Amino acid sequence: MPSSAPDSPRRRIFSVPARALRLARPLAWLLGAAYFAFVLLVLVLRYAVMPHVADYRGDLERALSATLHLPVAVAAVEGDWQGLRPKLVLHKLQIRDSAGRPALSFDHVEAVLAWSTLFHLEPRLHLLGVDAPVLDIRRDAAGRLFVAGLAVDTGDTRPGFADWLLRQNHLAVSDATVTWTDEMRAAPPLTLSHVNLVVDNGGSRHRFGLTAEPPGHLAEKLDLRGDLHGRDLAAPDRWRGELYVDLPRTDLAVWRTWIDYPVELPRGHGALRLWLDFAALRPTAVTADVALDGVSVRLAPELPMLELGNLSGRLQFAHEGDAWQVATRRLALATADGVAIAPADVSLRWHSHGGEFSATRLDLGDLLRLSAHLPLAEPVRRELDRYAPRGRLRNCTFTWGGDAQHPFRRYRIEGSFDGLTLSPGGAIPGVAGLSGSIAGDQAG
């Protein structure tokens, strides 16, 4: 009698274990029940709750007060829908301080509820929109932040208003007026008009975009964007992120009243785009596209002031540990004492054991004259004074390494030169008026 044929591949592919079938059936029932429960909830909200949402104004006030830990009053409530999400329109929303005094008021607020409210047991919003608010933000002499008199950090262990805002998905503020008063800096109030702000929150990541009109003597327009990482506004030293600022026409010196620059900048006006990386309240990298006139800048406290008639191009600065980097792209400048540098790409990186310098085009005589204003390590400065380089370099690279006493124990140089002049020193012979190209190191 012939043996039974083995299962065909087709039969094996479509066979399902009995245990999986037993698990799939209750899972399907569970998903179906969840779906119908959600549909039922939507229908109840749409036809039973939202048409009569004004009757729940008191419940809404109590829920918001419990969430914000501050008294909240709402004059009127309207219900609507945005897709499948309930939307509340709040009129004359008022947040009072702990003493019950009016602190923060909004004429018109739109709040689109997120379904995650059901899981977090607190109001979670898919969108919070505010039209034309007037906000007073203040930092007192002790460094504490207040919004309309409400402390951002009250010392309470419970999450407050600012923390609650950081947990909402999307915030949008349009046509606001914001006044910033910094008592810690003893600065006069700064008022920004026509402020439009959009914030997207996702866990510890917060991205925002802000446009505003500062007073006319400060700038034509302000465009500020950020990508920040942090959870607690009361602990700014734990935050890190990136900021972008665009000022098409501005007076940089006047902004020093409210902002700390990484360098001393008493004078300078023109256009600026700035990218700033920071961590622990300190800048770690700065990139700036500039087109400035009449600039005075001091790059380090011990250096003399650098006076520039004009400055254009890209400037980059980075610092990590004992490593520093200064770089330019298409940078052109003219100093008050006659140094003029045509557009060039220049990069200088150095640390305690060496560094690298590269340039597409450079006049060494101009660099030597500027070196007194640059934050160079003292051994590098001594070597520049020792060899007193002159002439023009093209597509050159110079790397070096050693110790504090002999920073050029190892080096390598490549590039083309014209009219090169070096004073003799050590193993390097002096030259004058030399043109050509070079590739060499400490061996020869």
pLDDT tens-place values along the chain, 444 residues long: 445 555 555 555 445 566 666 676 666 666 666 645 555 555 556 555 666 677 878 888 888 888 777 888 899 988 887 777 888 888 988 888 777 777 788 888 998 888 777 777 777 888 999 988 888 888 888 888 888 777 765 444 444 667 788 888 999 999 999 999 999 999 999 999 999 999 999 889 999 999 999 998 888 899 999 999 998 877 788 999 999 999 999 999 899 899 888 788 999 999 999 999 999 888 889 999 999 999 999 988 889 999 999 999 999 988 877 788 889 999 999 998 888 888 989 898 887 778 888 989 888 888 888 888 888 878 778 888 888 888 998 998 988 887 766 667 788 888 898 988 888 876 667 788 888 988 887 777
Listing DSSP states for 322-364 in one string gives TEEEEEEEEEEEEETTS-EEEEEEEEEEEETTEEEEEEEEEEH
Closest among 81, 3, 96 to 46, alpha carbons compared: 81
Q: Which amino acid is at 407?
A: P
Q: Which amino acid is at 386?
A: R
C-alpha neighbours within 13 Å on the C-beta side of residue 200: 5
**In whole angstroms, what is the distance from residue 422 CA to residue 384 CA?**
10
Q: What angle do CA 438, 350, 292 make, to 5 degrees?
A: 95
Asked whether 398 and 412 are in contact (CB, 8 A), the reply is: yes
- Residue 225: CB atoms within 10 A of its CB come to 16
Report the length, in residues, of the chain: 444
Element (H, E) at 211: strand 205-213
The β-bridge relationship of strands 134-139 and 170-182 is parallel
What pTM was computed for the model?
0.74
Asked whether 207 and 163 are in contact (CB, 8 A), the reply is: no
Asked whether 23 and 46 are in contact (CB, 8 A), the reply is: no
The β-bridge relationship of strands 390-401 and 354-363 is antiparallel
Closest among 203, 280, 209 to 239, alpha carbons compared: 280
C-alpha distances out from residue 107 to 74, 278, 372, Å: 10, 36, 58
- Residue 151: CB atoms within 10 A of its CB come to 19
Asked whether 219 and 211 are in contact (CB, 8 A), the reply is: no
Residue 158 pLDDT: 46
Listing DSSP states for 138-170 in one string gives EE-TTS-EEETTEES--S-SS--HHHHHHTSSE
